[in-house]
């Protein structure tokens, strides 16, 4: 019965709640039914899907744009003032292709503060993206990204460096009425 209720919660989240145009309703469901830790000022736009209840923490003023997939089975932490663009995929689980039984494994993903992840980028299990880093659109991140590095490509490699300001002043605290 417990598994049935858990699966029902995920089904409702990924097939009904993600289509609700009222952000307050979605955030209520994510916080109270899915048990996600979502700080004030953070937003999750319509169309996002999740793989498990719990295991997702989003700090203040961060935005997950529309149609992202967040595989939170192995836990995802998203820092403050993070912008995750449309159709980003964050994975925390995979299979050990060399194990005799193709066993699954979970590894957490950590995204630091002031990070920008471009459209259709993919973050693979076990990756840490450092504070202030930028992941270019379409990049596949297979290993840690150092603070303020700009990475792109498949697999992602350093292609630049973001200026490291002592105190960035921007905030991603913005709301859209029907997103």
- Catalytically active residues are 95
All structural domains of the chain, each given as residue ranges with its CATH number in brackets, are 2-161 (2.160.10.10)
Count Cα atoms within 13 angstroms, Cβ side, for 17.
23
Find all residues with CB under 8 Å of 93, minimum gap 6, and list them: 51, 71, 73, 74, 104, 105, 106, 107, 125
**How many Cβ atoms sit within 10 Å of the Cβ of residue 177?**
7
- What element of type H or E holds 161? strand 157-161
Task: Give, for all 179 residues of the chain, the pLDDT tens digit.
Answer: 888 888 999 999 999 999 999 889 999 999 999 999 999 999 999 999 999 999 999 999 999 999 999 999 999 999 999 999 999 999 999 998 888 888 899 999 999 999 999 999 999 999 999 999 999 999 999 999 999 999 999 999 999 999 876 666 677 766 666 66
């Amino acid at each position: 019965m417990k598994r049935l209720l858990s699966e029902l919660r995920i089904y409702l989240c990924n097939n009904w709640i993600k289509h609700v145009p009222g952000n307050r309703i979605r955030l209520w469901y994510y916080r109270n039914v899915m048990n996600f830790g979502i700080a004030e000022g953070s937003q999750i736009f319509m169309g996002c899907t999740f793989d498990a209840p719990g295991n997702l923490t989003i700090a203040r003023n961060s935005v997950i744009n529309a149609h992202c997939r967040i595989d939170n089975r192995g836990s995802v932490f998203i820092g403050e003032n993070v912008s995750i663009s449309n159709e980003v995929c964050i994975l925390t689980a995979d299979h050990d292709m060399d194990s005799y039984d193709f066993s699954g494994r979970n590894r957490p993903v950590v995204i630091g503060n002031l990070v920008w992840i471009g459209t259709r980028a993919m973050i693979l299990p076990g990756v840490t993206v450092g504070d202030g880093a930028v992941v270019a659109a379409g990049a596949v991140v297979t290993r840690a990204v150092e603070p303020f590095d700009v990475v792109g490509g498949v697999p992602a490699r350093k292609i630049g460096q973001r200026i490291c300001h002592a105190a960035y002043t921007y905030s991603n605290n913005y709301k859209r009425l029907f997103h």
